[in-house]
A and B are shown apart, each in its own frame.
Chain A
Amino acid sequence: MKKFLFLSVLVTMGFLFAAPALSQDWTSFKEASRNIRSVKADFLQKRTLQILTKPLLSEGKLFFYTPDSLRWEYLSPLRSVMLQKGNNIQVYNFSEGKWKPEMIQAVEARRMVLAEISRWFQGRFDESKAFKHTYSPGPPARIILVPGEGINRFIQRIEIVLSVRPGVIDRVEIEESGGSRTFIEFRNVVINSSISSEVFEKP
């Protein structure tokens, strides 16, 4: 469960880091990441599993408002949402016609992960204890994240593939231990628009 949480947030933050794709310069990249206030996007997730001949497809929406408000919502095949606003973290599943709190909120685990990611968001990659990063100018430009001891039991590598459009990434590729992979493609990306605070408070 911790890993999943980590992934969700990581992908979101990776999205934000993608802002300075055109700069091709690490210093400019970090500087540009400070100019992002909000992100809205749709996403399509393709999950390949060894057990399945066809990938498992999921669709959802992402909302982020700096510094620490996040809504990561799956619309299909399962409808669920993770909400973060400050230190408050909630997870809901839509079942039998209504939103229900997830049985296992794992709030502490989520908080720890988000704190880690928050450092990255501020361009403080060097302070990350979970991942070592490299920046590849491409094209396409990529940020490659390699996990340290512990997380590498679950994740082998994450690549954030940047779009040529500033502030936008094309996709995130997550390679897991055991051969499974996850691709998340972002669509309809909107940067720095206003987002109601309710988006991060209510499912």
Chain B
Amino acid sequence: MIHRKGLDICFLGFFILSVGCVSLSEKTLVPGSPDDLPGCYAVFPAGPWESVYKLEATIRGGGSFSLLGVTKGEPSERRLQSLLLTPEGFILFDAELRDGEMAVRKAMAPFDSPAFAGGLMEDVSLLFLPPKDQPTGWEKKTEGTMICNWRGPDDSHTEVTGSMESGWRILRRDKYREVIKEVILKGPFVNGLASRVELHAFEPASYRLRMTLVQSSP
């Protein structure tokens, strides 16, 4: 059973890069068939993996930068290590997230604030790690699209929608059910990693991140 909570959010004027209003309605789901449950995790790479993405970030006010993002994941340990590199390969940022605990190994200006480190690793986690607990509700539509909802310990919500064929969308909502981050993942998927990713963050900081897969290996 699906109940739709009408929630249209107009980001125009708030998020300068958006054009028009973005409608991001929320679906309230109940647990579906156990057979469909693995589909909720299909968007997240399953085994150990590593990736290099080209990152193009645009922040509120029009500033932008291009960097390389290197990430290594070990899903069974809920472990992620992420580096930000200049085009020349110099490491600006290096941090590891292990079962929710973050350790920053290197952070150079302007990426040296705790808020940046926390935000970046939260983004990486949103992209590559499923929420820790089982979804609170899920549904597989007839055409194969999955819709899955998780509730976080801080009463945040994560919603995953899509399929490997059509691509995926991940929404993160705060406790007020307002969308604070939206991720679009597009195929082809290589070693379980999307070739193209677009992340929009709305709160607390506003920015857009475009990612293009450069190389990956399992």
Contacts and interface: CB of A to CB of B under 8 A. Distances in A.
Interface of A: 1, 3-4, 7-8, 45, 47, 49, 51-54, 56, 58, 74, 77-80, 93-96, 100, 102-104, 180, 182
Contacts of A1: 86, 90, 92, 108-109
A176 to B, nearest CB: 9
B56 A8 contact: no
B66 A52 contact: no
Contact of B70 (A56, A80, A102): A56
26 contacts: A1-B90, A3-B90, A4-B89, A4-B90, A8-B88, A47-B85, A49-B70, A49-B91, A51-B81, A52-B70, A52-B72, A54-B215, A58-B87, A74-B88, A77-B52, A77-B54, A78-B54, A78-B66, A78-B67, A78-B87, A93-B66, A94-B66, A95-B56, A95-B66, A103-B65, A180-B91
A32 B180 CA distance: 61
Given A56-B52, A56-B70, A78-B68, A47 B89 contact: yes
Contacts of A53: 50, 217
B88 A4 contact: yes
Most central of A47, A51, A58, A79 by chain B CB within 10 Å: A51
Contacts of B88: 4, 7-8, 45, 58, 74
B89 A93 contact: no
Contact of B52 (A3, A8, A52, A96): A52
Given A56-B215, A93-B65, A51 B89 contact: no
List the 8 closest pairs (A to B, CB-CB), nearest first: A4-B90, A47-B89, A93-B66, A78-B87, A80-B87, A77-B214, A74-B87, A95-B56
Interface string B50-77: 1010101000000111111010100000
Contact of B64 (A45, A51, A77, A95): A95
Interface in B135-189: none
Contacts of A77: 52, 54, 68, 214
Given A56-B68, A78-B66, 10 more contacts: A3-B90, A7-B88, A49-B70, A49-B83, A53-B217, A77-B68, A78-B67, A80-B87, A93-B64, A103-B64
A62 B193 CA distance: 33
B6 interface: no
A91 to B, nearest CB: 10
B110 interface: yes
Contact of A100 (B54, B64, B68, B108): B64
Nearest to A82: B88
Contacts of B92: 1
B90 A51 contact: no
B88 to A, nearest CB: 5
A106 to B, nearest CB: 9
A56 B89 contact: yes
Nearest to A96: B56
Contacts of B72: 51-52
A74 B91 CA distance: 16
A1 B108 CA distance: 7
A151 B56 CA distance: 29
A58 to B, nearest CB: 7
A182 B89 CA distance: 8
